[in-house]
Amino acid sequence: MSGFAKPWLWAWIAAGAAFAATLGLTAGRGAGELAYAAMSFGAFAAIVGMGQMLVITLGPGNVDLSIPACMTLAGTLALKVMGSDPGTAWLGLAVALATGLGVGLANFALIWLLRLPPIIATLAASLIYQSLAIWSNRGLRIKPPEGLADFATGRMLGVPNVAWVALLLALATWVMLERSVWGRWLLASGQNLRAARLAGVPVQAVRAATYVAVAVFAALAGYLLASFSGGAALNMGAEYLLMSIAVVVIGGSSIAGGNSNVPGVLGAALFMFLVVSMLNSYGAGAGVKSVLTGAIIIAIVIAASARRSRP
Amino acid sequence: MNHDDNAPVVALTRAARHFGPVKALDGVSLSVAPGDCLGLVGHNGAGKSTLVNLINGTFGPSAGEVTFPGGAEGVRSVFQELSLCPNLTVAENLRIAHPNLKGFGWRRAARAEIRESLDRVFPGHGIDPDAEVDSLSIAQRQMVEIAIGFAPRGGRARLVILDEPTSSLDAGIAEQLLSHVTGFCAAGGAVIFISHMLGEVFAVASRIVVLKDGRVVADRPADDFTRSGLVDAMGHVATEAVAQQAARSEPGAVVIHTPNGLEARQGEVVGLSGLAGHGQAAELARLYFSQTSDWRAGRAAQAVFVAGDRPRDGVLPLWSILRNISISVLPRDAKRGLVDRAAESRLAQEWKARIGIRTDDLDNPILSLSGGNQQKVLFARALASDAAVVVMDDPMRGVDVGTKQDVYAMIRAEAAKGRTFLWYSTETEEVCQCDRVFVFRNGAISAELTGAEITEERILEASFEMQEAS
């Protein structure tokens, strides 16, 4: 297990390289701004990525494709309840998290009761969540309460507040995975569900909790993103579908389950933003940018899996 | 017996294989000639599987050499860990071992070849060449694997290595295999027969080689060994009588009663017997699932399970030995939901010593252990818990004689403390250690035996009754 025991290192090296390549063009000017922007935007990818990581850890076939819809629904409902009124930030947070809880339970109910493959269950359910968001939003663009907007775009000790939130969440996730009984249960279930069950792990409770956790993470990201960008939009979650899966894989977690990696997700989230800004600063057009981003992700996934399959 | 004029099929000269600091094989010289049936015995981790891997070329020797005077064609291995592809049919699995089978109609040829080989080794086997392997019982899979080993596959089998071939076969099927091996060697084939069932080794082997700590400690004709002499050579004092001598506690209240009629009392060791694949394993799994929950795990589990089919039911392959031992007791030792890592490491060290897991470092991956040692880890996992009921699904597959005796004694001691054991085994010898035995036939209980009624004859009688009547 040693030797390449730190797969998260690669994500951070890649992020560093993209950072350096961007600054190479400007001869080092704007380093602080670039780092700040990467931390702001990376925070949202990191939060949903950690949720997706927990689900992917459950083993082959487990993935949550309802993350974008859940973000949109949570952001929309929270902003609607708050209605731009001051002092309602906590109420909005509670609504967002409750939305996440509901979405997670609904997803797992489909998977467990109807025995649908998670990929189908979450994708189909996401159409419903998205429709609910459209129905409740009706084209309104409600601004977040001023205090909340200030928090979401503000900073502390030079680091964006949203990055602090992501960092705290990462710490909690790491402790849960590496030190708690639940974490051991999750990792055991992801390696061999039947063996875990026969070793006394309450596997259905572990799966349920994981699907709820990913939805709550997505809801939190939706709430913060809506507050950060001055209101909820119906397509606000769209880019986080591929993003959430890409940061897990680039971060060094095993796509086959049973193995996860919190620091890697953080590094990969920074990398995903930096690679786009690198291409931007080199003046790549929208089409070229998409092609190159896709190619870079594929290259990294291939490199990562080649590294792992070495004996 | 005189094959001196024949060139050996394989010859090892001071062959050694090291894995880091571990000397799995430490200078072994050995040759196998046509017509030889070599019995290879030794403890778990003595180097038997490493020797096999050297001969079949999985890896090369670190020192010394392995030569095949007549070429390496026709050298076959049948592995201890079943190695068939579960999603393919029996015939398709033959094709994997026989790459020259190609072109139109290869399926027909493959079907015919595997059927013929199965018929030859296991007459009346009842296995359909078109059945997918994962629909077969573990015994049937082992039969298929053996049949593939002996199949011609475009040439001729000259040396077949059988690594624990009978570990999931019942007595009747094992007998068929042994007589086939005898015939195969008489016709000039060579076999290396690895088994912890010393009776089988004596039944087929013309020569016995004893491995201990990676070295050959004895290499003599089988007739020169006695059973106890062989056990002594392996380096473990025979303690066969201990298990029987241990005081059998008075059974207490009934703790388990299933709709099928299976009953177990507190402090009792209950055996499940009968021919392999007659519903014993399914009954045990049902029983275990009914005693535990998918949704809750209290601080102390009501029941624990010892798997026999390690890759499917037991081992958590990405983890260390330590984590594999502790998984079932985590809630008991946890503080506020966090794993007590000091207690975990103490527990693992204690069990490493008690059950003799051969490793330098419990943080090594579980898959670095030999099969028998992985099985010890699964025993440690179950016995370390406080569960009142221990369910064991043919748990001694690939475990050496010495460890078996230790585990029998441990089971007796734990039963005396009031734990209940449910023990399915394909070995009649193990079933005879039980206080009460249920014999299964076609998924139902055909006999319940207690005390002096538990004999090999009575068990066999109850296993076969229907077939005789019809």
Specify whether B380 is located in the same domain as B441: yes
Query: Is residue A24 a part of any domain in this protein?
Result: no
Of the three residues B195, B212, B234, the one that is the final residue of a domain is B234
Q: Which residues of A touch B304 (CB under 8 A)?
A: 199-200
Q: Which residues of A touch B385 (CB under 8 A)?
A: 200
For B103, the domain range is 10-234
Q: Which residues of A touch B319 (CB under 8 A)?
A: 187-188, 191
Specify whether B82 is located in the same domain as B125: yes
- The one-character DSSP state at A142 is P
Partner-chain contact B297 A196, CB within 8 Å: no
Of the three residues B234, B268, B288, the one that is the final residue of a domain is B234
Q: Are B359 and B373 in contact (CB under 8 A)?
A: yes
The per-residue pLDDT string of chain A (311 residues; one tens digit each, 9 = 90 and over) reads 333 456 777 788 888 888 888 888 777 777 888 888 888 899 999 999 999 999 999 988 899 999 999 999 998 898 888 887 877 888 889 999 999 999 999 999 999 988 888 999 999 999 999 899 888 876 567 888 888 888 888 888 888 989 999 999 999 999 999 899 999 999 999 998 889 989 889 999 999 999 999 999 999 999 999 988 888 788 888 889 888 888 888 888 877 778 888 898 999 999 988 888 888 888 778 888 888 878 887 887 777 666 554 43
For chain A, the residues whose C-beta falls within 8 A of a C-beta of chain B are 1, 175, 179-182, 184-185, 187-188, 191-192, 194-205, 254, 258-259
- The pLDDT value recorded for residue B446 is 82
Closest CA to A191 of A112, A259, A108: A259
Nearest CA in chain A to B289: A198
Specify whether B382 is located in the same domain as B423: yes
Query: Is residue B264 a part of any domain in this protein?
Result: yes
Partner-chain contact B331 A181, CB within 8 Å: yes
Specify whether B249 is located in the same domain as B195: no
- The pLDDT value recorded for residue A305 is 63
Q: In one letter, which amino acid is B303?
A: A
Query: Is residue A19 a part of any domain in this protein?
Result: no
Partner-chain contact B313 A194, CB within 8 Å: yes
Question: For the stretch A142-176, what's the b/e string if a residue is b when 16 or more beta carbons lie within 10 angstroms of its beta carbon?
Answer: bebbeebbebbbeeeeeebbbbebbeebbeebbeb
Query: Is residue B328 a part of any domain in this protein?
Result: yes
The tens digit of pLDDT for each residue in B251-303 reads 677 777 777 788 888 888 888 887 776 778 888 888 888 888 777 776 667 88
Query: Is residue A26 a part of any domain in this protein?
Result: no
Q: Which residues of B touch A202 (CB under 8 A)?
A: 293-297
CATH number of the structural domain spanning residue A139: 1.10.3470
Query: Is residue A119 a part of any domain in this protein?
Result: yes
Nearest to B312 among A194, A201, A203 (CB): A194
For A251, the domain range is 36-309
Q: Which residues of A touch B323 (CB under 8 A)?
A: 184
Partner-chain contact B330 A198, CB within 8 Å: no
Disruptive mutation site among A1, A58, A175, A181 for chain B (greatest number of B CBs within 10 Å): A181
Partner-chain contact A179 B288, CB within 8 Å: no
From A121's Cα to the closest Cα of chain B, the distance in A is 21
Which residue is associated with the tokens 């990201």? Answer: A221
Specify whether B200 is located in the same domain as B279: no
pTM: 0.76
CATH number of the structural domain spanning residue B170: 3.40.50.300
